[in-house]
Amino acid sequence: MKAGEVDGTFPVMRLITRLNIGGPARQALLLTRELAPKYPTLLAAGTPTALEGELSDPAVAVRHVPLIRPLRPATDVHALASIRGLLKHHRPRLLHTHTAKAGTVGRLAAATLGSSRPRTVHTYHGHVLEGYFHPMVQHGFVEVERRLARHTDVLIAVSPDTRDTLLALGIGTPEQFRVVPLGLDLGAFVTPTEAHGRLREQVGIDPDTPLVGAVGRLVAIKDMGTLLAAVARLPGVHVALLGDGECRPALEDRAEQLGLAGRAHFLGWYHDIAGAMADFDVVALTSLNEGTPVAMIEALASATPVVATAVGGVGFVVTDGVTGLLAPKSDPAAIAELLQRVLDDPSRARSMALLGQQDVTVRFGYPRLVSDMGGLYRELIGT
């Protein structure tokens, strides 16, 4: 059988809330494709919103299920029944869930199968248990994760920080956790194929104009407002935001208020991130929380200097003062200072980025991920 077959029996079923643009979706597609020779996999996912964008792979078919990110009981019950039906029909030996809602609904569906349930693995690509919801809601989600963990064979964290945070919240046991870092196809970033200068031409700036880049969803947890406030402190510096999301209108208004008209460029979902990286003087990340920041990995793979907030799994990717520069969260002055340091000393910044390139291409390349996950599947269900 080939990756993406939607009939018959599968050794593995992979479930993700939605294949929106970002690291979890890329990993789900990549693993489904690359592990297909040994572990044919049924990939099931909900449908992202238009603002989120949707990733796909021509080699991977997707079975769409009614999974959505918001908590909506009627839809969630429908999703539970749909996923239970897939498990009963295809009889996978292993269910691997990615992201919070898929992890909840998928593991509940598996539990209803009793003694015939598949082995279960859940990957935490970071988590939504801090900084996303009201404290009372957050407490409820933590309790749900604690209960689900008791009925999960293996819990995967994408960084040691994610694992340690979850354990501190009482989720799972040390014996259940495996740290399996994100793995990406970084070839296009190490050797970009698109012409250098295309993004600068698109936004109307010359090669000598300082340009800060940011790549990601325009949502509250990414705190792009802090980046805009930092760039506003740097006369003559431009910033390009590659991404979209619910906060875009507010961020565009904020840019105007900060006097960034003509210097802040909102480009939506950009088709050639690798080419864009070559045009940035520095890539910034100002998130309030992160799992494993894909934008930092891709920037360093491109040997582009990085500045980021020291939150979540950022320090697992960027070594402060060695491969990039880290600042406290929600601190525009500190971010501005580090951005200026990079722009004032491009040679030193480039040297750090080259060290980062050597590091991330080994630690976060997809061959390592495929080997790690293949080994885990072999351990749980054999060949």
Residue 87 is predicted with a pLDDT of: 97
**Confidence class for position 204, pLDDT limits 50, 70, 90:** very high
| 31's tokens | 């693993």
Instruction: Strands of 87-134 (E only): list them.
Output: 94-98, 119-124
Burial of 271 (0-12, 13-18, 19+ CB in 10 A): exposed
12-184+365-381 and 187-363 in the same fold: yes
Which pLDDT tens digit goes with each residue over 7-63?
A: 557 899 999 999 998 889 999 999 999 999 999 999 999 999 888 889 999 999 999
> Domain 187-363: which topology?
Rossmann fold (3.40.50)
Q: Read off the pLDDT of each residue in 274-294 and give the average, rounded to a whole number.
A: 94
Residue 3 has pLDDT above 50, yes or no: no
Asked whether the beta carbons of 218 and 241 are under 8 A apart, the reply is yes
According to DSSP, the β-strands at 119-124 and 325-327 are: unpaired
**Confidence class for position 195, pLDDT limits 50, 70, 90:** low
CA proximity to 248, closest of 46, 5, 50: 50
**Confidence class for position 138, pLDDT limits 50, 70, 90:** confident
Q: Is 12 left (phi over 0), alpha (psi -120 to 50) or beta?
A: beta
Q: Read off the pLDDT of each residue in 77-90 and give the average, rounded to a whole number.
A: 96
Q: Read off the pLDDT of each residue in 340-369 and give the average, rounded to a whole number.
A: 96
Residue 4 has pLDDT above 50, yes or no: no
Q: Read off the pLDDT of each residue in 57-77 and give the average, rounded to a whole number.
A: 94
Distance (Å, whole) CA 323 – CA 336: 18
Global pTM value: 0.84
| 300's tokens | 């360093």
Residue 22 is predicted with a pLDDT of: 85
Distance (Å, whole) CA 74 – CA 70: 11
Residue 1 is predicted with a pLDDT of: 38
Residue 126 has pLDDT above 90, yes or no: no
Residue 132 has pLDDT above 70, yes or no: no
Average pLDDT, the chain: 92
Distance (Å, whole) CA 238 – CA 94: 48
For residue 329, the surrounding DSSP H or E stretch is none
Q: What is the CATH superfamily name and number for domain 12-184+365-381?
A: Glycogen Phosphorylase B; (3.40.50.2000)
Beta-ladder partners of 184: 365
Distance (Å, whole) CA 376 – CA 212: 40
**Confidence class for position 68, pLDDT limits 50, 70, 90:** very high
Residue 2 is predicted with a pLDDT of: 42
Distance (Å, whole) CA 290 – CA 272: 23
Residue for token pair 């992160």: 290
Q: Please state the separation of Cα 93 from the chain's center in Å.
A: 27
Q: What are the structural domain ranges in the chain? A: 12-184+365-381, 187-363
**Confidence class for position 133, pLDDT limits 50, 70, 90:** low
**Confidence class for position 137, pLDDT limits 50, 70, 90:** low
Phi first, then psi, for residue 380 (nearest 5°) are: -85, -40
Asked whether the beta carbons of 326 and 347 are under 8 A apart, the reply is no
Which pLDDT tens digit goes with each residue over 311-335?
A: 988 999 999 999 999 999 999 999 9
Residue 53 is predicted with a pLDDT of: 86
Residue 304 has pLDDT above 60, yes or no: yes
Residue 128 has pLDDT above 60, yes or no: no
